[in-house]
Amino acid sequence: MQWSSGNRGDIDDARGRSGGLGVAHLGIGGFLVLLVLSWATGTNLFSLLGTDAGGPSQSVGTAGQVASSPAEERLVDEVGAVTKDVQDMWAQELGGRYERTKVRLFRDSIQSACGFAQSATGPFYCPGDQKVYLDLGFFRELSQRFGAPGDFAQAYVVTHEIGHHVQNLLGTTERVQGSRSGANSASVALELQADCYAGIWGHAASQQGRFNAGGVELEPGDAEEALRAAAAIGDDRLQREATGRVMPDRFTHGTSAQRVAWFKRGMESGDPRACDTFGTTTR
């Protein structure tokens, strides 16, 4: 995959920050619990967290110097280039409906509008603050644990999460709120559509001359990297490795075969209209 460095405008680098547990991140439920406990005990518990009952604290932790390596900084440049490229594509596709997001890089753990997250959570999109969260260490797991190395496999992960941002902007995410998990659930359809959206970008990136024009361009073998990544993180494969059996009623992202099929559909068509996973059975 060809890409140029220096495109970090869509990156929010939080690798040097420590995660805070301020009231701002407890949510309204946590805020009310502290309020009731403060009243019941006669102790101002808000003051222990550096705030008061007048409202949530805005402190989210401390900023620190980023200790990094040349290899890691190259990953940051890659994520930045891919994020810019896929967002430029969606801006062209959706016009004024598209609003740019940022990929927030972190290490070990972080607070988001969706709650406290650790690296083990894996990359995720938070509709609450409309940001993608990524610990770069996941790429090492993708390569070593899941057997899916390569820069386009990494790009697939990023573009899948940007796909969730597109779904949020279009109101698709709202359709699945509160839905149950399972092989034929709306949550699985949402994930498979994000795979298809990642394939839409893959189709665009496969067009020759994009790198010379300032965009990411694929090279021979790149598509296979993404397909290996999609197959590696299917629910059936992950469940079989973890428990020795497959439990379709607990599927959240779809099988390996489904994830590969929907990514291929997006990449072959280049048309978001081909990504209607809700109108097509996900079996």
Residue 72 lies in a domain: yes
Task: Calculate Rg over the CA atoms of the chain.
Answer: 20
Position 182 scores a pLDDT of 82
Domain identity same for 28 and 110: no
Residues 34 and 119 in one domain: no
Q: Are residues 93 and 183 in the same domain?
A: yes
280 within some domain: no
Pick from 89, 232, 230, 227: nearest CA to 165: 89
Tell whether 28 and 104 lie within a shared domain: no
Structural domain includes residue 2: no
Annotate 83-123 with DSSP letters as a single string.
HHHHHHHHHHHHGGG----EEEE-SSEEEETTEEEEGGG-S
Q: Specify if 107 maps to a domain.
A: yes
pLDDT for residue 261: 96
Whether residues 165 and 214 share a domain: the answer is yes
159 in the same domain as 97: yes
Pair 36, 106 in one domain: no
CB neighbour list of residue 131: distance below 8 Å, 6 or more residues apart: 12, 101, 102, 103, 104, 112, 113, 125
Which pLDDT score, from 0 to 100, does residue 280 have?
65
Q: Across the 283 residues of the chain, what is the mean pLDDT of every consecutive 10-residue run?
A: 92 79 42 44 45 39 66 96 97 96 95 90 94 95 90 96 97 82 86 97 92 90 92 90 90 93 96 91 43
Beta carbons within 8 Å of 44's beta carbon, 6+ residues apart: 38, 52, 53
- Contacts of 45 by beta carbon, 8 Å cutoff, 6+ apart: 34, 37, 38
Instruction: Provide the domain count of the chain.
Output: 2
Structure tokens at 32: 């009310």
Q: In terms of domains, do 91 and 170 share one? A: yes
* DSSP type of residue 27: H
**Same domain, yes or no, for 55 and 77?**
no
- Same domain for 217 and 179, yes or no, is yes
* 94 & 41 share domain: no
* Whether residue 46 is found in the same domain as residue 70: no
Q: Evaluate if pTM is beyond 0.85.
A: no
Range of the domain at 146: 11-15+64-275
